């Protein structure tokens, strides 16, 4: 069954919560210039004036009624994220992306329950967003890293995913879907939630997972992969090789639990499940190039023409 994130495209109406703020205004324009259908925005302090030609509403219910929006991005401070996302879900929005760092864990736990109760998708707590390259994006993923292709790129790290996406684009491989799940310990979408839909997605030829030390998300993904035999290549890169054991790193999700959550644990679990774990970005991109049949054939033809 297709995941709701895979169903988004350039026709999907999206609203920006907090559109009159500096970041809301800027990224609404950037997302729209990329091709996203930014149908409206919300602001409790709105005087009714449009932002960059985008209509602004007092609340999500009014925005959804007027635009039929099914997705939103909350450009709100961390302490306002729970209220903003809850308002969107209650208005009928099916996919909510939240970007603020520092959302309280208790708020994230409550928001996870709210999303589940509405049978909706929450991407966050803190995420750079997601994209269907060449068609639309929700968030602030850099355009230079977004080239249409066949790789499903799912990542806990924003900056690492940008670099991988950029290198895939530079090698003419590109991505089918780009999802930043974020590094929070409590989040709406985890790696494991995406495995089955990506395995079922015919347009996805390679799955790339960018993880990091801490948490057990990669181990959970590996367990699901082991239970879902597939010929579709799964590649992984785990950041944190130089992290010193016992040293507090400060990342929200970077907690280890005995042997779980360590680099070794993640490597071993993923390898046993059938994934190939690479030690560098260049190695990861090269492996992805060899995995994708269309790209491999194109490179072979290029070599023969020399």
- Same structural domain, 96 and 56: yes
The enclosing domain of 43 has a CATH number of 3.40.50.720
243, part of any domain: yes
Q: What is the DSSP letter of 209?
A: E
Do 116 and 177 fall into the same domain? no
Span 281-290, pLDDT tens digits: 999 999 999 8
Do 158 and 292 sit in the same domain of this protein? yes
pLDDT (average), residues 94-99:
98
What is the span of the domain harbouring residue 67?
4-123
Regarding whether 265 and 220 lie in a shared domain, the answer is: yes
Residue 53 lies in a domain: yes
* Backbone phi, psi, residue 81, to 5°: -65, -45
Taking 50 as the threshold, does the pLDDT of residue 303 lie above it? no
pLDDT in tens, 105-116: 999 999 999 999
Let me know if residue 136 belongs to a domain.
no
**Residues 55, 66 contacting (CB under 8 angstroms):** yes
Q: Which DSSP state fits 186? A: S
Q: Is residue 97 domain-shared with residue 149, that is, in the same domain?
A: no
Q: Does residue 183 come out as left (phi exceeding 0), alpha (psi in the -120 to 50 range) or beta?
A: alpha
Considering the domain architecture, whether residues 146 and 283 belong to the same structural domain is answered as yes
Spell out the SS3 assignment of 76-140. CCHHHHHHHHHHHHHCCCCEEEECCCCCCHHHHHHHHHHHHHCCCEEECCCCCEEEECCCEEEEC
Average pLDDT value for residue range 63-92: 98
> What total of structural domains would you count in the chain?
2
User: Does residue 305 fall inside a structural domain?
Assistant: no
Residue 118 bears catalytic tag: no
The active-site residue, picked from 27, 118, 251, 269, is: 251
155 and 37 in a single domain? The answer is no
Q: Are residues 250 and 212 in the same domain?
A: yes
Say if residues 236 and 270 touch (Cβ distance below 8 Å). yes
Confirm whether 281 is domain-assigned: yes
C-alpha closest to that of 178 among 145, 143, 130:
130
Residue 132 domain-assigned (yes or no) = no
153/290 same-domain check = yes
So what's the pLDDT on residue 302? 47
Q: Which CATH number do you get for residue 288?
A: 3.40.50.261
Task: Give 30-66 pLDDT, tens digit per residue.
Answer: 999 999 999 999 998 766 789 989 999 999 999 999 9
Tell me the average pLDDT of the chain: 91
């Amino acid at each position: 069954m297709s995941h709701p994130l895979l169903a988004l495209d350039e026709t999907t109406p999206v609203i920006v919560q907090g559109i009159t703020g500096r970041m809301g205004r800027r990224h609404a324009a950037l997302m729209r210039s990329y091709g996203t259908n930014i149908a409206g925005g919300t602001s409790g302090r709105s005087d009714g004036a449009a932002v960059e030609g985008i209509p602004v509403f007092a609340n999500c219910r009014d925005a959804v009624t007027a635009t039929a929006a099914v997705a939103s991005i909350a450009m709100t401070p961390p302490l306002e994220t729970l209220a903003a996302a809850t308002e969107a879900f209650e208005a009928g929005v099916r996919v909510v992306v939240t970007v603020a760092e520092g959302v309280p864990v208790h708020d994230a736990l409550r928001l996870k329950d709210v999303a589940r109760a509405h049978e909706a998708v929450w991407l966050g707590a803190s995420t750079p967003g997601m994209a269907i390259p060449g068609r639309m994006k929700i968030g602030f993923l850099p355009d230079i890293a977004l080239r249409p292709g066949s790789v499903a790129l799912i990542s806990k790290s924003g900056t690492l995913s940008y670099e991988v996406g950029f290198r895939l684009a530079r090698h003419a491989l590109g991505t089918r879907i780009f999802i930043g799940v974020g590094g929070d310990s409590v989040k709406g979408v985890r790696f494991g939630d995406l495995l089955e839909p990506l395995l079922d997605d015919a347009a996805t030829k390679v799955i790339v997972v960018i993880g990091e030390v801490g948490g057990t998300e990669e181990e959970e993904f590996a367990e699901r992969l082991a239970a879902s035999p597939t010929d579709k290549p799964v590649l992984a890169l785990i950041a944190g090789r130089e992290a010193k054991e016992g040293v507090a790193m400060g990342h929200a999700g970077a907690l280890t639990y005995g042997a779980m959550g360590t680099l070794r644990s993640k490597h071993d679990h993923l390898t046993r499940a059938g994934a190939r774990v690479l030690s560098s970005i260049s190695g990861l991109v090269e492996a992805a190039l060899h995995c994708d049949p269309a790209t491999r054939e194109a490179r072979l033809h290029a070599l023969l023409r020399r």
